[in-house]
Amino acid sequence: MKRDMLKVNKSRAGAFSAVVIAALIALVVTALSFAFRAAPTVTHTHAASGGSITIHVYDTKSEYSTLGGWVWVKGLDSGTPYKLGSTPLSDEEFKKDTNTARPLQVTLSDAQLNKLKDGTAFGLLILKLKSPVNENSKDFNDWFVKDGEQDVMVDLTKAFDDNNHADIYYVRKDTVAYTNIEDAKMALEKITSARFTAKTASGVSVAFETTSAMTNNATSVSILNGDKTVGTSKVMLVGGDKYSGTASFSQLNAGNFDFAADYKLKVEIIPNPASIAKTALIDDRDFIALYESADVQNLEYGAIYSKEKTVFRVWAPFAASVDVKLYSRGSGGDLISTSHAIKRFVDGKFGGVWELTVSGDLNGTYYTYEIDNYGNVVETIDPYAVAAGADGLRGMVVDLDSTDPDGWENDDHLYKLNPNNADVPIIWELVIKDFSASANSGMVNKGKYLAFTEKGTTVPGDPTLKTGVDYLKDLGITYVHLNPTYDFSSVAESDMSNVNSVDAFNWGYDPQNYNVPEGSYSTDPSRGEVRINEFKQMVMALHEAGIGVIMDVVYNHTYATGGQAFHNTVPSYYHRTDASGNFTNGSGCGNETASERSMVRKYMVESLVYWATEYHIDGFRFDLMGIHDVDTMKAIRSALDALDGGKGKQILIYGEPWSGDSGDYIPPSFTARRSATTAAIAGTGKYTTNTSTNKLVKQLYFSNSKSMSALGDRIAAFNGTGRDGVRGGSWDIDVRQGWINGNTSEAGAVKKMLEGGCGSEGSGMATSNGSQNAACISVHDNFTLWDHLIGKASSKETPLFYDDPIASCVSMTQTASAANLMSSGMTVFIAGEEMARTKYANHNSYNSPVSLNALDWRRQKDFKAVYDHYKQVIKIRKAYKTMFSYSGSVNKSNCTGNFTGSDASGLIVFTRNVGGQKLVCIFNPTDAAVSVSGMGGMKVYVQNGTVKNNTPSSASMSVAAKGTIILGSLTI
């Protein structure tokens, strides 16, 4: 995932005027950074004819000078920072005594205004400002310090006046905001939050905050169950803060606690009680036994369709009520009906499951759930939805068989259709829009799934330069890794002019609906079945070309918490929390999911099985896999293995073993869940177990040994130490040198990667065998390989420089890539690396224009020497299938070799003998040619940047500076 990611328009070398070059450099310099919240930030240009919002912010403690606001329009933008006004408005009514609210003034573009009027939610967070604030940045983390605040979503449909102005009234730290001043005034005497913190045999504890001052050990508090008082106590203030308190109640304890009850807290100085959240009890043994039973875990959820009826089933254990709303369209349109779901009882027990059966053929009907959790009623899309309308706000009932394209019955996984390609993973990573969006792609369906179905495409004006899938077949790669293609939040699908704009761009690491294809890549996002059909057409076209399809999956965090289906359905269950009940942030995006919890693990496992079976997906790449726990990853591997009579073992799994934090923080909720489930809990199901040794994957990678062995076979991790060893690490604009570009002492990390992490040479990420190794040197994160080697290292940043095939950098690229492509396990590289892809030193192009991100297919001509070298080394890897078989890489002996002839200068001579076949790779990262002896009697495949056609080798071979020689026993 991208945590460090500009805008620049690109043209060909020689076509730049001085003015254009200057403008491009200026754009590079003013690059935007990635927002470490739930999604990247976007800078808005506010139309004069748009609208405005005044957020009246009341803070109990009057800390107004330290506060600011982060606001966004759900599904349209990712957020904009503001400061609070320093003084109250002259006619401000939102006040208590002498404490008067301060204004936060928001301007809206026409697009934002229209979305809000149409019912799209407005999101806000009021937080403490950093000191100092970097006001030149639009990055969330350059502005705010997040301290447990939760997203607040506001419906402004009826709030705008004739001048397109709306008012919002908000009490800091409340979970609700108001558009009516009279309703808002009630919040000035309110319990803004209440939650159970513990449940034992001797009693329960509750933590809460109010907007009225309390007195330590004097203010009376009670717990109510309906109209009945079940416990009374006195407040204990937290740290002397008169608005924050705790209370303990011996009258309610583990013996008589009712999870199904809507317990409320009553504070004597506050008019109305508030529901007490059970967040801290989600990892309680009693909760697990009751709400995560075998029956609950074995059920199918979502809109379960047949022509005769549809069963709507959702797990919402804290809900007081669940309604199903049916619509004629995915957005707007008529409300057809609202019906009450009923609780599902098994043996007289309610396990949190709600159901509704509707007779008739509902194919194509849209639906939402309206759920009451703790008195907060929200309308939400079904988290289990497999189809959706534009913007992913309503699910769609769908007959999946009707979405199959012609010929789909003959499609299957790559391991059946082309077993040789399937077993030698050479993975080309790209964003769908990058593939076809440029003017020189020669493709008609620019930025769409259907671009992959086009055949015979070439660069306009030069029919010798293939593009599209024909190009991929010529190059020889065996898998395409698609950056997120599930439904993500950052592109407004309901605005077709926006969807079809080449610059409506985002990498997609802002998850919204995990089981629904992204709509902006389809020709009609408003019809849920279209995106499914066109996604399948893409898969089928790639399979026909002998290429597998890998999905980039982002289960580690959600785009948001408030307003997101998981949190709307079961508040706080799907995300990890700290000791105070706040969301933890291992993702660097404001939250992290809790894979160790039964229903989260079930969701992940079954979601992946769904994509593998319904869409014939051949592999999965896990974003920030380090956040997930080892037991869950093993459960995923086991479930995929069982598919297709055991042939699912050939479905690939790999991911990033790191996280968005330092790696040493373990959330308290993870520890609590592991402790609760280490011993078997009677009645629970297959997703419950957490072994006593269960760890987060990041704990393996960030350990001193960096050993990934505990992951098990055929779960691979990106070899970050190998990547950095080859070309140097990079973070933001800090680029370091590696083995190929000046720091030859990193040769040990390269050796470790070549042997798939399981050899005895060198140091770095360690594995049990090569099936745990995903070698790479550049992907969408950070600089492209060409930019890393050429621009930053030389402090050259003009576009002309990045387009110039400088010989020394060509040699470095050839040698670095050969080390990657000759590594055991699987090998991954960013699309276009083989033609020296550049983003002009933009290391974080997640929302930059397509003019920067799209593949420039013309570069294959200017960088033909690079392309030809990649193509030949790929051919070598496929020819030595015995050596590079992924299924065979579980055997350590198939992955390792010897490094006789290597020396302290950084020279690597790597010899492998497997199955009677011999392969020798000689890599010289130094600035001088070297001679290597003992190479007679073999065939040369590449030599110092030149492709050789099985040329007989000499006993002594001269390896040029920064050069590579690969030779072996086979004729290829």
Catalytic residues: 623, 656
Residue entry with tokens 């606690």: 257
DSSP structure class, residue 531? H
Picking from 281, 475, 559, 573, the residue whose alpha carbon sits closest to that of residue 866 is 475
Contact 212, 272 (CB under 8 A): no
- Would strands 917-923 and 908-914 be described as parallel, antiparallel, or unpaired? antiparallel
Whole-number Cα distances in Å, 916 to 764, 880, 969, 970: 29, 11, 9, 10
Parallel, antiparallel, or unpaired: how do β-strands 366-373 and 395-396 relate?
antiparallel
Gyration radius from the chain CA atoms: 29
Of 398, 380, 271, 400, the C-alpha closest to 316 is: 380
Cα 613 to Cα 340, 536, 606, 607, 608, distances in angstroms: 32, 12, 10, 10, 9
d(CA 214, CA 268): 9
Q: What share of the chain is helix, strand, coil (3-state, %, to 5)?
A: 25, 25, 45
14: helix, coil or strand? coil
Pairing of strands 652-655, 716-718: parallel
- The DSSP 8-state label assigned to residue 960 in this structure reads -
Q: E strands of 277-402, at which residues?
A: 302-305, 309-315, 319-327, 335-340, 342-346, 349-359, 366-373, 376-380, 395-396
Helix (H) or strand (E) holding 232: strand 228-234
Strands (E), 673-797: 716-718, 730-731, 734-735, 773-776
Q: What is the DSSP secondary structure assignment for residue 792, as one 8-state letter?
A: I
Distance CA(614)–CA(618), nearest Å, equals 11
Contact in structure between 42 and 77 (CB atoms under 8 Å):
yes
Which of 621, 630, 604 lies closest to 699 in space, CA to CA? Answer: 630
User: In which element (H, E) is residue 722 found?
Assistant: helix 720-727
- Check: CB of residue 217 under 8 Å from CB of residue 234: yes
Distance CA 570, CA 296 (A): 14
